[in-house]
Structure 1
Amino acid sequence: MSHDRSSTSADDLSVVHRPGARTASSQAGPGPVASSTPHEESVGQLLSDLTQQMSRLVRDEVQLAKIDLTEKGKKAGLGLGAFSIAGLLAFFALGALVTTAIAALSQAVDVWLAALIVAVVLLVLAAVAALVGKKEVQQATPPVPQAAVDGVKKDVEAVKEGFTR
């Protein structure tokens, strides 16, 4: 990043002042906070600023996580609704196909035997589908607010980088 920076040392701590940055008295929203004067700040003031910034950062990350999960929930709800409609229509179509299979098989054997054969085949297919579904559900990852997780990782890296300066 290329910013115009000037540094002032205060009790072995370096304070970075950026032109155009908000002052400590400005409390609206997240962002960099600089001293209201370009002179040295006390360690107590620096710690107070750090505490306020960390508190605001945590609140902002929690808010981002809420927004992210809400959006994912809405999309999942719409998707599940569409899948429900598709499943209902497929169920009716399957009923028609089962009736067709029984009618066709009844040309070769008695109707009751044709119905029994089709029912056994359907139960085997249901068991296979249940096993595949169970396997897929177990492999599903829990919903994660990815934007908030990425933001926290960047914040941790920024804090680590700040301590190594």
Structure 2
Amino acid sequence: MTVPYPTGHDRAEEVSATSVGELIGNISDDLSQLFRQEVELAKAELKQEAAKAGKAAGMLGGAGFAGYLAVVLLSLAVVFGLGNVMDLGWAALIVAVLWGAAGAVLYVTGRKQLKTVDPMPRRTVDTIKEDAQWLKNPTG
């Protein structure tokens, strides 16, 4: 009966016959293959997540459009509701002024918040500087 796997003694002879250079080469090859497999796995996961994000973005876009239409139709309902009390032209002007005021408030608030945005990733820059300093002087 033949043994499909080498016995402990056979394996020991095989390992002792292998040079250190071959062992390091094998380890290097194995690590390279492992790294390539991990990169392929990451690519596959990113592709899958990007597809999910695309679908979600499409749904959010559809929801935004539906909300926009609801606001337009509600605005028209307010115009026609006010039209029962006054001329339709004046009712439409009142609704337009209200929307203009809301837009102005949102613009001013958004511009104020935008001025507080710092495009430079300060913490990242600081940690990169620390890493560079450590590389220059790893013992201190």
Q: In 2, are the aligned partners of 1:35 and 1:41 still within 8 Å (CA)?
A: no
1:65 paired to 2:42: yes
1:68-121 per-residue CA deviation (whole Å, 9 max, x = no partner) reads 111111111111222222223222222210101112233455433322232233
Unmatched tracts of structure 2, length 5 or more: 6-10, 118-140
Summarize the alignment of residues 100-139 of structure 1 with structure 2, pairs less than 5 Å apart: 100-126=77-103, 128=106, 131=110
Query: Which structure has the larger Rg over C-alpha atoms?
Result: 2
One-letter amino acid of the counterpart of residue 69, structure 2: F
Match of 2:57 in 1: 80
Summarize the alignment of residues 16-95 of structure 1 with structure 2, pairs less than 5 Å apart: 37-39=14-16, 41-95=18-72
- Cα distance in 2 for residues equivalent to 1:95 and 1:78: 26
Unmatched tracts of structure 1, length 5 or more: 1-19, 21-33, 139-165
Larger proportion of strand: 1
The size of the alignment, in residue pairs, is 103
Q: CA RMSD, aligned part only?
A: 3.5
- Cα distance in 2 for residues equivalent to 1:75 and 1:86: 17
- Cα distance in 2 for residues equivalent to 1:35 and 1:101: 89
Distance 1:125 1:46, change over 3 A: farther
Larger proportion of helix: 2
Of structures 1 and 2, the one with the larger relative CO (CA 8 A, separation 6+) is 1
TM-score by length of 2: 0.56
- Cα distance in 1 for residues equivalent to 2:102 and 2:25: 65
1:9-35 per-residue CA deviation (whole Å, 9 max, x = no partner) reads xxxxxxxxxxx8xxxxxxxxxxxxx99
Query: Percent same amino acid at aligned positions?
Result: 30
